[in-house]
Structure 1
Amino acid sequence: MTTPQQYQAPSADDFLMGGGGAPTAKFPTAGITIGGRVTERPTVEQQRDIKTGEKKFWSDGNPMMQLVVTVQTEQRDPAIEDDDGRRRLFVKGQLKNAIADAVRMTGARGLEVGGTLAVTYTHDGTPSGPGMSPPKQYTARYTAAATAALHTPDPGTVPQQQYAPAPQQYAAPAQQHYAAPPVAAAAPMAAQPNPAVAALQAQQQAQAAAAPPPF
C-alpha cells in the first residue's frame, strides 16, 4: 500500500523522465541505519497528513515544511520494480535538528550532492499528548562531498595492491681472524767446538811438529 508521503511532488528529473521519485526510507524498529551518497539536490516541500494526505499547516496558517533528501543506499526491495536502492528521507522535527548538527560538525553550509548522509533511529521519545504516538529520535552522520570524494575509488580503475618493500636484513660483516705472519725458522747455529777436544787436538799437533822427521 502506498503511503501519503510516497506521492510527494517528484523532482524535475523524475517528472521529465516519468519517474515518481525514490521510495520512502523506512525505520520500523530502533537501531536501523539508512544512508548513502546524496544523489540529487535536496528540496523543500509541504508536509502532508499521514492519514488523509492533505497538506499540513501551522495554527497561524503557515505551511508545515519538510526537507526531502534522496540517498543511494544498498537496500533492495523485491516488491519494488527496478529498485535501484535510492531512498527518500523526509526531514522534519527532531530528525531535522540531528542532521543540522551533523552538517555543522563538518563545517559545511548544508547538504550537497555527493556528500554522504547516514541516519539512525535510536529510540522513541515522549508522546506530545494522550493517544499520540511517541516521536522517533534520530542521530545523523554527514561527510561533505569533497571529503567523501577523496575516499571513493574511481569505478573505472582497479585498485592497485600496495606492496611494502621487504625490510632489508642487516648482515654483520664476517669476522676476520688475524693470522700472524709465519715466523721464519731460525737458522741453525753453527756447531761450537768442544774446548776439551780442541785442546787435545792442539797438543797432538804440537807434538807432531816437535818430533824428528823419520829417516
Structure 2
Amino acid sequence: MDANSFLMGGGGAPTAKFPTPGTVVGGHITEPPQVEQQRDIQSGEKKFWNDGNPMMQLVVTVQTDQRDPAIDEDDGKRRIFVKGQMKNAVADAVRAASAKGLEVGGILRVRYTHDGEQKQRGYSAPKQYEAHYTPAAAAQLQNQPAATAPAAPPAQAYGQVPPGVNPVTGEISAQAPAGLDPQQYAAAQQNPNTAALLHQVPPQPGPQAGGEPPF
C-alpha cells in the first residue's frame, strides 16, 4: 500500500484474477509499482522462505476494461501481483521492450497460458504466464491521432495533366490537330512517342465568328 492509500484508508484496486488458461489482464499502469511482502491467503501472515528471507512480490495496478457488478463504482483498475513464474515472464517482457522497468503510463498485459508441473501432492499445479510490455513513451505515441495528410498539390505540378487540359475543370483548352478530336488529342499528349509529333501537325481550325463551320 502506498502512502496515500494508507492515509485515506483505501485498500487498493481489486485483485486481478486469472481463472482459466487464456485469461488476459492488462492495460495502462496507473500508479508506481510497489514491492511488498507476500502474505498467506488463509491466515494473512507474512510469508518467508526456508532461509528466513521474506517472500516478496511486485504489485502493479493497471487500468482494464473489466467491470464487476458486485463491486460498487468499479472503475476497472486491477492489481496484478507479480511473483513466481509471472515475475520471470514480466521481466522478459520488459527486456524485450528494451526498457529499464515498469513505469506509469506503460502498458502491461499478462496472459495465463497453462498449468505447470505439480510438484507437491495437495497443491495446485503452478500457473504459467506470458507477458507483453509497452514503455510509456511508445504507449503515448499509440494513443495520438494519426496526422492528417496534407492536401496534394495540383496534378499539373507533377506533369500528370497533359498540355492543353485545364487542371481544375479537366476541359480541353487547346485546339486539337486536324483529324483528332479533343479527347484523342489529350490521350496523344500523354504518350511520349506521339507527344513530340503533335507539334508538327497544324491545329484543327475551329468555327469562325459569324460564319459557318467548315465541312
User: Structure 2 length as normaliser, TM-score?
Assistant: 0.70
Is 1:162–2:153 an aligned residue pair? no
C-alpha separation in 2, matches of 1:25 and 1:51: 18
Matches within 5 A, 1:196-207: none
Is 1:87–2:73 an aligned residue pair? no
Query: SS where residue 102 of structure 2 aligns?
Result: coil
Matches within 5 A, 1:1-215: 10-153=1-144, 162=148, 165=151, 168=155, 170-173=160-163, 175-177=176-178, 178=202
C-alpha separation in 2, matches of 1:124 and 1:137: 6
Give the drift of 1:42. Answer: 0.8
Give the drift of 1:83. Answer: 0.9
C-alpha separation in 2, matches of 1:91 and 1:179: 83
C-alpha separation in 2, matches of 1:115 and 1:180: 70
C-alpha separation in 2, matches of 1:179 and 1:49: 97
The corresponding residue for 1:185 is: none
The answer on whether the counterparts of 2:97 and 2:135 sit within 8 Å (CA) in structure 1 is yes
Gaps of 5+ in 2: 165-175, 179-201, 206-215
Query: SS where residue 151 of structure 1 aligns?
Result: helix
Structure 1's 87 and 107: CA in aligned 2 closer, same or farther, altered over 3 A?
A: same
C-alpha separation in 2, matches of 1:146 and 1:34: 21
C-alpha separation in 2, matches of 1:18 and 1:58: 30
Q: Rg larger in 1 or in 2?
A: 1
Query: SS where residue 27 of structure 2 aligns?
Result: strand
Query: SS where residue 26 of structure 2 aligns?
Result: strand
The corresponding residue for 1:191 is: none
- Could you report, residue by residue, the CA deviation over 1:153-209 in whole angstroms, capped at 9, with x for unpaired residues? 3xxxxx58836746949444464223699xxxxxxxxxxxxxxxxxxxxxxxxxxxx
Identity %, equivalent residues: 63
Structure 1's 58 and 160: CA in aligned 2 closer, same or farther, altered over 3 A?
A: closer
Query: SS where residue 147 of structure 1 aligns?
Result: helix
Query: SS where residue 16 of structure 1 aligns?
Result: helix
The answer on whether the counterparts of 2:177 and 2:203 sit within 8 Å (CA) in structure 1 is no
Amino acid at match of 1:83: D
Give the drift of 1:51. Answer: 2.2
